[in-house]
């Protein structure tokens, strides 16, 4: 893999982010995963509730020698990517993701349809990821009296090899209108075993679903 550009960005990124934002300097942290198929840099803050709360993942495509971030489009049913042309775009993207996380409030100008505005750059390209669904939708919970259904589907992002877990929640109203909500969770092979172990070891502490409350 050609990782010269990846290593150069890793070397410059932390100092650059600290120098442009005092708040990031105090709270922001980053970790590097160099051995993945698409190496990545994860950005997080440390909180009292969890050891690490991630707010951005920056991926590197070694074949095309380009950085990108991922975005899910539940209404369109695909995963999009934003290609970042240079170090300034990368800094702006991470900086903006950090403040979006801290403020918990996206403005209208940040995400509009399939176009993304980050900083003042015009060189950002938006594309789509192909997700190959390995399973059909599997019903995890159904309550016929309340007309509620929760299903899951597992797939793989073809470009990165990461796993995608899609949760679909369907509720039928008294007027027989369908309310559908989709959520996506992405994870790598290295994370999968940890996630499974954490869930399995705490199964007894979980409560069953109850939509009648």
Q: What is the pLDDT of residues 66-117, one digit of tens each?
A: 898 877 655 555 567 788 888 888 988 888 888 888 775 333 333 333 333 3
Instruction: Identify the residue whose tokens are 């550009």.
Output: 5
Q: Does domain 132-205 have CATH number 3.30.70.100?
A: no
Instruction: Identify the residue whose tokens are 């959520």.
Output: 183
CATH 3.10.450.700 residue window(s) in the chain? 132-205
- Answering whether pTM is above 0.75, one says no
pLDDT digits (tens, 9 = 90+) for 175-211: 667 787 778 888 888 888 888 888 888 888 887 766 4
Closest CA to 67 of 26, 19, 6: 6
Three-state DSSP state, 176: coil
């Amino acid at each position: 893999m050609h990782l010269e550009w990846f290593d150069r960005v890793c070397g410059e990124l932390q100092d650059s982010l600290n120098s442009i934002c005092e708040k990031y300097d105090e709270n922001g942290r980053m970790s590097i995963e160099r051995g993945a198929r698409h190496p990545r840099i994860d950005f997080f803050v440390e909180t009292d509730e969890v050891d690490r709360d991630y707010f951005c993942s920056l991926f590197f495509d070694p074949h095309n020698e380009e950085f990108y971030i991922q975005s899910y489009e539940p209404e369109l049913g695909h995963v999009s990517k934003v290609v970042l042309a240079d170090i300034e775009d990368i800094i702006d993207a991470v900086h903006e993701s950090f403040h979006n996380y801290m403020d918990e409030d996206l403005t209208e100008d940040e995400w509009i349809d399939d176009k993304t505005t980050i900083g003042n750059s015009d060189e950002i390209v938006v594309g789509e990821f192909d997700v190959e669904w390995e399973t059909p939708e599997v019903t995890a919970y159904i309550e016929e009296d309340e007309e509620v259904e929760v299903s899951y589907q597992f797939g793989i992002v073809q470009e990165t090899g990461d796993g995608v877990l899609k949760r679909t929640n369907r509720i039928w109203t008294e007027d027989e209108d369908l309310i559908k909500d989709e959520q996506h969770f992405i994870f790598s092979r290295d994370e999968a075993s940890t996630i499974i172990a954490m869930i399995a070891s705490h199964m007894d502490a979980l409560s069953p679903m109850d939509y009648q409350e």
